[in-house]
Amino acid sequence: MANFSLNKTVFDKKEYTNVIDTSFSQANIPASPIEDTITPAEFFNLYNTIFYDIPTTGEVNSHEYIVKKSSEYIGISSTNEDVQMLLDEITSLQKELLAANQQLIAMQVSSSVSSSVSSINSSLM
């Protein structure tokens, strides 16, 4: 069996504070103070106050950004592509309506000319 010698150093109360540093040199304090969070009510009060100071469009810090982020959060997938598709359909329908109106006018003009020619022919006979 092996023999081990253990040595223990004991300090009395006065000597302990002279030998051992009892002050705190490190602590788990964040590097920057924790900012207070605001409530949703406070957020919307502030938002309403600065509403007109917020840029309309922009990648960040704009109304466009707020709409985009909120839409993503609540699952709205209304995109510019959807709007463009609807605008294209409206344009197509407007072209069809214009073509139909032009045909109608052409038929009315043709009927009117035909009626005038018939009237002239009747009066000449």
Q: Which tens digits make up the pLDDT trace of 103-125?
A: 999 998 888 877 776 776 666 66
Is residue 101 over pLDDT 90?
yes
In a domain, 23, yes or no: no
27: in domain: no
94 shares a domain with 84:
yes
User: Are 42 and 73 contained in the same domain?
Assistant: yes
pLDDT in tens, 26-50: 666 666 666 678 889 999 999 999 9
Close Cβ partners of 57 (under 8 Å, ≥ 6 residues apart): 63, 64
Task: Say if residue 61 is in the same domain as residue 73.
Answer: yes
Total domains present in the chain: 2
Reported as a single tens digit per residue, the pLDDT across 54-99 is 999 999 999 999 988 888 888 776 667 778 889 999 999 999 999 9
The whole-angstrom separation of Cα 52 and Cα 65 is: 15
Domain coverage including residue 73: 37-77
Residues 83 and 94 in one domain: yes
Together in a domain, 72 and 87 = no
What pTM was computed for the model?
0.36
Q: Rounded to an integer, what is the distance from CA 30 to the centroid of its chain?
A: 32
